[in-house]
Structure 1
């Protein structure tokens, strides 16, 4: 298993992953079914600890010599009239539009937040946008 961890995460991180693997195995040992393949079980834990290591490493910042000066350009804020129209939408449409576009959630995430189906969330957002476009179109 240690060779697997060295190959997966490198020599320096293998020690930590090895320890984490056995701590997790000791904690889960009472739940192991009789007749299970212990070697495969521990290797599965080691594989998951290696994946955890890679995920954690991907979240760490990378040091650089110089931080480039980058201008930050925020998107222009919508006018108060637009937000007033959004607030005037029926509750379900308003929630769907705000979660989908202001909150940048997927339709599936909006559905979970609103306790409805994904199709219903998609439809509420669509109908809300349709209503807003109709109110804002120059006719």
Structure 2
């Protein structure tokens, strides 16, 4: 019975989104940086949309959404530590220059670039599968 009463007090999700959009985006810009804030913002509100019908904190929605944003920011930072970055390809370094900068052999640079690109491709395929299954 208490759960039903709480649900009735929830505003429509669209209104909730509009009322909290600026605050959450500002928080995420500080938490993950301006480049990644859009992506984490979307993840935050998708998670909130899924959980909204079960939310029992109608009187504290601002705290509820910031808690979700905080967890998504933490997840983002965890994921960033695991993401491979093929620096030589992105910055246009030759294999010899990259080897010199990294203090390793050219073969090690090639192997590292191959592995990094392979990992990126695998991650992309997993993400596509996740989006098509939702």
| Highest RCO, 1 vs 2 (Cα 8 Å, sep ≥ 6) | 2
Larger radius of gyration: 1
When normalised by structure 1's length, the TM-score is 0.46
Between Structure 1 and Structure 2, which shows a larger proportion of helix residues? 2
